[in-house]
Amino acid sequence: MSPLSRRAILGAAAALPALHLMPRQAEAAAPMRNELPPAWHRFRLGEFEATVVSDGSLPLGDPAQSFTGMSGAELGTMLRGAFLAPDAATLEQNALIVNTGRQLILFDTGMGDSMGPASQMFGPTTGRLIRNMRAAGIEPSQIDLVCATHAHCDHIWALVDANGNRNFPNAQVAISEADLRFWTDDANKRGPAFMESFIEGAKRNLGAYRDRMIMLRDGGEVTPGVTALAAPGHTVGHHVFAIASGNAVVVNTGDLAHHQVILLRRPQVQFAFDTDPAQSAQTRVRMLDRLATDRHAVLSYHFPWPGLGHVAKEGEGFGWYPTAMNVTSLG
């Protein structure tokens, strides 16, 4: 082979990789959507039909500011070990809707938009309950009963809309008398800065349903299939709800535990938004122990979507075992 022809061949070969580096137009079959589907999940609970609807995620920020009794280093180690960000805690808001065949019952309402800028105190990712309900085929006007675990902003501030009108015009509201009194009393605005907005929001939202209130009783039946259980500490009148149909039971735990790792592994750790942190920790240990012993399914408002799973005893604390989502049938 002549030197000339060899140079030509080598030159051509050297140019081949460059062809692969040259920019070219994308050949994807479809453009990226950059959007998520509506967040709802449906399952069977005995003879009942249950739907979990998201109000969106709720960023808490630095976990050391919300969970007290552990050092920042301890929290970071625990969260990294669970493959979670050590410097930013994010909670979900999982609202349960149960169709008993006679009633449509909503458990907690999410943040809503009733309080203007205050409704976005945790950022713009909250307040999505109504749109996700409608995506799931449920109209707010179809709700017969709203069961409120307690009167905090992320649980009742969607009772009314931005104009103060009832979002659930045909519903009664079940809540503890202790929480109703405490969170509508201006005398309780003392203390942490958030108390003023929390109380104003409770007054606006609960006040719209004053003529259609049901007061919860510990161990009492709220409506057939739904029993209220007092779980105080997070608020003075915080309750959880046991929902039963046949042999199937799920316990809606509200804010019994805000984090599936921190407050289960270390249930004595306190949470900054607790009215009585020590009582809240005692209640959490007692109720988690009961849930683990009874092996009932759990719907946790703030655990990772959709918040369904079981609690088990592990060492000095508890572990969280999410329930697999059945996407082919209601089960």
The domain that contains 253 carries what CATH number?
Answer: 3.60.15.10
In a domain, 107, yes or no: yes
Question: Residue 64 in contact with residue 35, Cβ under 8 Å?
Answer: no
Confidence check: pLDDT of 91 > 60: yes
Q: What is the pLDDT of residue 128?
A: 98
List the Cα angle 201/203/204 in 5-degree steps.
Answer: 65
Pairing assessment for the beta strands 172-175 and 213-215 based on DSSP bridges:
parallel
Confidence check: pLDDT of 182 > 90: yes
In a domain, 20, yes or no: no
Q: What is the pLDDT of residue 7?
A: 56
Q: What is the pLDDT of residue 23?
A: 59
Q: What is the pLDDT of residue 166?
A: 98
Q: pLDDT tens digit string along 237-294?
A: 999 999 999 999 999 999 999 999 999 999 999 999 999 999 999 999 999 999 999 9
Pairing assessment for the beta strands 58-61 and 248-252 based on DSSP bridges:
unpaired
Q: pLDDT tens digit string along 99-136?
A: 999 999 999 999 999 999 999 999 999 999 999 999 99
Confidence of residue 330 (pLDDT cuts 50, 70, 90): confident
Q: What is the pLDDT of residue 22?
A: 54
In a domain, 6, yes or no: no
- Residue whose structure tokens are 């209220």: 228
Q: pLDDT tens digit string along 211-224?
A: 999 999 999 999 99
Mean pLDDT, rounded, for 17-22? 51
Q: What is the pLDDT of residue 17?
A: 52
Lowest mean pLDDT among 29-33, 70-74, 293-297: 29-33
In a domain, 13, yes or no: no
Confidence check: pLDDT of 6 > 70: no
Question: Residue 302 in contact with residue 91, Cβ under 8 Å?
Answer: yes
Could you say which DSSP state residue 210 is in? G
In a domain, 28, yes or no: no
Number of structural domains in the chain: 1
In a domain, 1, yes or no: no
Confidence of residue 19 (pLDDT cuts 50, 70, 90): very low
Confidence check: pLDDT of 15 > 80: no
Q: What is the pLDDT of residue 21?
A: 54
Q: What is the pLDDT of residue 174?
A: 98
Q: What is the pLDDT of residue 280?
A: 98
Hey, what are 27's tokens? Answer: 């050949």
In a domain, 44, yes or no: yes
Mean pLDDT, rounded, for 147-176? 98
Mean pLDDT, rounded, for 52-69? 96
Q: What is the pLDDT of residue 245?
A: 98
Pairing assessment for the beta strands 94-99 and 48-54 based on DSSP bridges:
antiparallel
Q: What is the pLDDT of residue 191?
A: 84
Lowest mean pLDDT among 28-32, 94-98, 272-276: 28-32
Share of residues in the chain with pLDDT > 70 (%): 92
Residues 6 or more apart whose CB falls under 8 angstroms from that of 205 comprise 112, 114, 156, 157, 158, 159, 160
Pairing assessment for the beta strands 104-107 and 248-252 based on DSSP bridges:
unpaired
The domain in which residue 180 lies consists of 38-322
Q: What is the pLDDT of residue 28?
A: 66
Q: What is the pLDDT of residue 329?
A: 86
Q: What is the pLDDT of residue 24?
A: 61
How far is residue 46's CA from residue 246's CA, in Å, rounded to a whole number?
6
List C-alpha distances in Å: 186 to 121, 175, 273: 20, 19, 18
In a domain, 61, yes or no: yes
